[in-house]
Structure 1
Amino acid sequence: MPALPYDHTAARIKRLRLERHLTQKALADLSGVAYSTLTKTEQGVIPATPYVLGCLARALRIDVSTLNGQPYATELRADELDILILPIREALDVYDLGADPDIAPRPRDRIAADAEALCAAVRHGDLKLAAARVSALVPEATTAAHLDGATEDWLTLASTYRTAYDVTTKLGYTDLATLALARMDWAAQRGSSAVVGGIHRYMRAMTYLRSGHYRTGRRLVDLGLEALGQADPGRERDVATGQLYLGAAVVAGRSQNRGQAEEHLTAAEHIAQRTGEAVQVWWLAFGPTNVAVHRVSVLAEINEYEAAVTAGRGLTLPEDWPASRKSHHHAELARSRMWTGDTDGSYRSLVRARKSAPQQARYSPTVRQTYQGLETAKRRLPGDFLSYGTWLGV
C-alpha cells in the first residue's frame, strides 16, 4: 500500500477497520487495545506505538507494514530505489538452479570481500549502494557455492542473503525480507555454521517482533540460543549470543514483560563485559554501547518514556559506531521525547537520525510516525520542520 501525502497511519487504521465492518469497540475488544487509545489513535490525537500497531495488525489479520504504509512507493521512486527491488527478487529466486553457465565466478576471497563490503555499506546507511550491488553478487556467490561447495563459499552466500534481508527490511519489503531470511538459512545449513544459524534466528525473531507476533519471536530466540550452544566457544559465539539476548529483551519489552526484559538485558550485559566493543564481529555492533542503547529501547517499549530519555541523555555513542545504529537510536529517542512532551528535543533527535543515516531515516516508520505526532501536537517548532516533512514525504 503506497504512502500518499494525505495518507497516514491513523487514516489507514480507520479505513481498514471499516473495510472489515468493525466498530471501534469491536476492534478494541479483538486487539486488546484500550478503547480510548484506539479512538485517539484513529483521530490522530496520539501516534500509534509499535505495541498498539502490532495488536491492531493481528486483530485485522494484516501486516504491520500495511498500517505503516510500507513500502513508501513515492519516495522510493524519487530516490530511484524502486528499480533495484526486482533484480533482488530475481536473484533470490535462483538459489536451487545450480551453477549458472553464463557466470564465471571471481576468486573466493574477492567475492567474500565484496560480501563483507556490502555488510559495511548497510551499517554506514548506504542502502542504495547495497541494493544496487547485492543483486549481482548473489548469483555470482550462488554459482561459486554450487561449483566448489566449500564451507567458505556457502557462508559468503549466506552473507549476501543477509544483506538482501537488511536492504529489503529497511525499505519496507517484508515479503522479500522473509524470503531472503529463508535463503540465508538454506545457505547457512550447507555451510554448517551454528553461529550463522543463531544469527539467522535472531533476525527472524526481529521480523516477528515487527509483525507483532511476540510468542513466535521468543521461540525463535530460544532456538537461536540452542543452535549457538553447538558452536565452538569463543568471541564470535559470545557476540551472537549476546545479540540474541538483546533481541529477546526487546521482544519481552514489546510484549510488556518488564521482568523478563531486564533478565535478558542483564545476561547481554555480562557477555558484553567479556567481549568489549565488537562492532565488526558478524556486523552485529554488539558490546556495552549496544546493551545501553537496547536498554533505552526497552524502556520505551514498556512506556517508561521519561526513564528512556534519561538513559539516553547519559549515553555517548562512539564516533566509529555504525551510522545505521546511531540513526535508529536517535529515532527511538525522538519517539520517547515526543511522548514526554518535549517537542523541541524530539525534533532535534529526528534531525540527528537524518544526519546519521539519511537513507535509513527517510524510510523509517518510527521517524515518520514521530514526525506526524509532532505535527499533531501543534506546538511551536523550528522553521525547518516543514521542510523535514517534505523530505520525508508526509
Structure 2
Amino acid sequence: MAGLQEERTGTRIAEQRKLAGLTQRGLAQRIPYSYSMLRQVEEGHKNASPDLVAAVAHALRIDVTTLTGQPYLAELRQDRLAELIRPIRECLDLYDLEPSAAYEVRPVAELAHDADDLCRLVRATQLNTAARALPPLVTEVTAAAHRAPGTHVWQTLGSCYRTAYDLATKLGFHDLSTIALDRMAWAAERAGDPLLAAVRQYMRALAYFREGEHGVGLRLIGKGHLLLEGAEHESGAAACELRAVQGQLHLGAAIIAARARDADTVRARLAEARTCAQHTGEAGWVHWLSFGPANVAAHELSAHVEMNRYGKALQAASRLQLPHGWAMSRRAHVHIDRARCEMETGRTEAALDSLITARRMAPQQTRYHPGARETLKGLLQQRRRTPGTLGHMAAWIGM
C-alpha cells in the first residue's frame, strides 16, 4: 500500500495544475466542478471520476493519460504484454509497403476467418493471445491487399486495424489507437464500405470523449450518420447491419452527451437506439458491436453514471438482463460501472464484489481499466483498515 500516494490521479492533477501555474481555485473556475471537490480529489479524500479527469485534462490542454498514468507499464510487464506493443506498432507502420515476391498469402476467406477470430478473442478478453496473433495476420492481409485488391480483402484489413485499436485502447496506449484508426480509415476507403467507415467514426468519437472534447465527439457521430445515408435503401441482412451501426452511433452520442450533462440529448439518443434495437434484436455479429436491446440498457446505466446519478444507475443495473453469450468484455464493463455506483453510494462491500466479478470475467481488461482502478482507490480511501480481500485486489491491480 506504500505506493498508493504516488499512484493517485489526484496527485497527478495537483502536479499538472502547478506546472500550469494555477491555484486550486483557478483550475476550479475552468472546470464544471467546485473548488471543494477539486481540493478533496487532490488530497485523496474523493475519487477522481473519469468525467472530472477529462474536464481537468481539457482545461490544462494535456492528454488524459498524463493524469491516469496510462499505460500501466509495471503491470504490463508482469503480464508480458508490454513486449507485444512494438510488433503491433511495426505492422501498422508498414501498411504501404509492397510484399516481397516470395511472401505467400492464404486465400482471403481464410484471412477473414482469422480476423473474425481476433475480434472474438478481444471480446472474450483474451488480450494476450490476440496481441500475439495480430501482427503476423496484419502483415499477411496487407500483402494480400497489395497483390489482389478487392472489397473483401480491404474489409478484412479494416477489421484487423479495428482489433489493433481495441487492444491499444484496452491496454492504455492511446497514441497507438489513433494510428490504428487512421489505418482503419485508409482500408475502409479502399473497401468502399460505409458501415466500416461509420464504425471508425464511432470509435474516433469515443477517443475525443475520453479527452473531454464533447462537441468534437458529437460532430464525429454526426459524420458517421452521414456516411450511412447512401445505404438507407438496403433490405434484409444488410438493413439489419445498417440499423445496428446507426444504433451504436446513437449510443455513442448518448454517452458523450451524458458526460456533457445534456440530459435531453441523452434521452433522445437512447430512444433512437431503442428503435433501432427493436428492428435488429441482439445483433452482436454486426461489426462486433454487441448492439441490441441489452447494449441499449447497458448504455443507459453508463449514461446515469456519467451524469453522477448513481441511484438511478443502480436501478438501471437491477433491471439489466444480459443475454446468454453476450461478450465477456461488455459484461465486465457493466460490473465496473456498477462498482463505481456502489462505491459512490457507500455500498463498499457490494462495490468490491462487483470489481471481483469483473476481474473473474475479464482479468486483463479490469486490471488496465482506469475506471476500475479509480473505484478501487476510492474504496481504499474509504477504509482506514484494509480487509484481506480488498488488500489482495489492490495488490493484484498494482497498488
Provide TM-score, normalisation by structure 1.
Answer: 0.97
Amino acid at match of 1:347: L
Matched position secondary structure for 1:271: helix
Shift of 1:31: 2.9
Shift of 1:4: 7.9
Residue 290 in structure 1 maps to residue 295 in structure 2: yes
Shift of 1:381: 6.7
Distance in 2, Cα, partners of 1:313 & 1:383 = 28
Asked if the contact 1:4/1:74 (under 8 Å) is kept, the reply is no
- 2:182 matched residue in structure 1: 182
What per-residue deviation string (whole Å, max 9, x for no partner) do you get for residues 1-33 of structure 1? xx9883220111111112222211111123343
Distance in 2, Cα, partners of 1:291 & 1:32 = 27
- 2:219 matched residue in structure 1: 219
Distance in 1, Cα, partners of 2:4 & 2:87 = 25
Matched position secondary structure for 2:67: helix
Amino acid at match of 1:180: A
Amino acid at match of 2:151: T
Distance in 2, Cα, partners of 1:379 & 1:125 = 33
Matched position secondary structure for 1:31: coil
Distance in 1, Cα, partners of 2:156 & 2:100 = 17
Q: How many pairs align?
A: 392
What per-residue deviation string (whole Å, max 9, x for no partner) do you get for residues 130-174 of structure 1? 111111111111110111011101010000000000000000001
Matched position secondary structure for 1:111: helix
Distance in 2, Cα, partners of 1:102 & 1:138 = 17
More deviation, 51-60/167-176: 51-60
Shift of 1:100: 4.1
Asked if the contact 2:165/2:180 (under 8 Å) is kept, the reply is yes
Matched position secondary structure for 2:393: helix
Shift of 1:129: 0.9
Shift of 1:319: 2.8
Distance in 2, Cα, partners of 1:105 & 1:223 = 35
Distance in 2, Cα, partners of 1:196 & 1:136 = 22
| Structure 2 unaligned blocks of 5 or more | none
More deviation, 171-180/52-61: 52-61
Asked if the contact 1:95/1:142 (under 8 Å) is kept, the reply is yes
Residue 197 in structure 1 maps to residue 202 in structure 2: no
Amino acid at match of 1:91: C
Residue 247 in structure 1 maps to residue 257 in structure 2: no
Residue 87 in structure 1 maps to residue 87 in structure 2: yes
More deviation, 32-41/199-208: 32-41
Distance in 1, Cα, partners of 2:32 & 2:253 = 22
Distance in 1, Cα, partners of 2:394 & 2:386 = 12
Amino acid at match of 2:257: A
Distance in 1, Cα, partners of 2:100 & 2:230 = 34
- Shift in CA distance, 102/176, structure 1 to aligned 2, threshold 3 Å: farther
Matched position secondary structure for 1:384: helix
- 1:26 matched residue in structure 2: 26
**1:268-287 alignment, distance < 5 Å:** 268-287=273-292
What per-residue deviation string (whole Å, max 9, x for no partner) do you get for residues 81-114 of structure 1? 0000000000100112233445311111111111
Residue 356 in structure 1 maps to residue 343 in structure 2: no
Shift of 1:340: 1.0
Asked if the contact 1:9/1:67 (under 8 Å) is kept, the reply is yes
- 2:115 matched residue in structure 1: 115
Asked if the contact 2:257/2:266 (under 8 Å) is kept, the reply is yes
Asked if the contact 1:208/1:217 (under 8 Å) is kept, the reply is yes
Distance in 2, Cα, partners of 1:362 & 1:5 = 19
What per-residue deviation string (whole Å, max 9, x for no partner) do you get for residues 267-293 of structure 1? 000110111011122110000000000
Matched position secondary structure for 1:48: coil
Structure 1 ranges of 4+ moved more than 6 A: none
Residue 314 in structure 1 maps to residue 319 in structure 2: yes
Amino acid at match of 1:40: Q
Shift of 1:185: 0.6
**1:54-69 alignment, distance < 5 Å:** 54-69=54-69
**1:134-173 alignment, distance < 5 Å:** 134-173=134-173
Distance in 1, Cα, partners of 2:4 & 2:46 = 20
Asked if the contact 2:338/2:351 (under 8 Å) is kept, the reply is yes
Question: Identity, % of aligned pairs?
Answer: 44
- Shift in CA distance, 50/102, structure 1 to aligned 2, threshold 3 Å: farther
- 2:40 matched residue in structure 1: 40
Distance in 1, Cα, partners of 2:150 & 2:374 = 46
Amino acid at match of 2:138: V
More deviation, 53-62/153-162: 53-62
Distance in 2, Cα, partners of 1:222 & 1:30 = 27
Asked if the contact 1:151/1:190 (under 8 Å) is kept, the reply is yes
Matched position secondary structure for 2:115: helix
What per-residue deviation string (whole Å, max 9, x for no partner) do you get for residues 166-202 of structure 1? 0000000010000000100100000000110110100
**Alignment RMSD (CA, Å):** 1.4
- Shift in CA distance, 189/212, structure 1 to aligned 2, threshold 3 Å: same
- 1:389 matched residue in structure 2: 394
More deviation, 237-246/225-234: 225-234
Match of 2:270 among 230, 246, 265: 265
Distance in 2, Cα, partners of 1:92 & 1:8 = 33
- 1:299 matched residue in structure 2: 304
Distance in 1, Cα, partners of 2:165 & 2:33 = 31
- 1:230 matched residue in structure 2: 230
- 1:208 matched residue in structure 2: 208
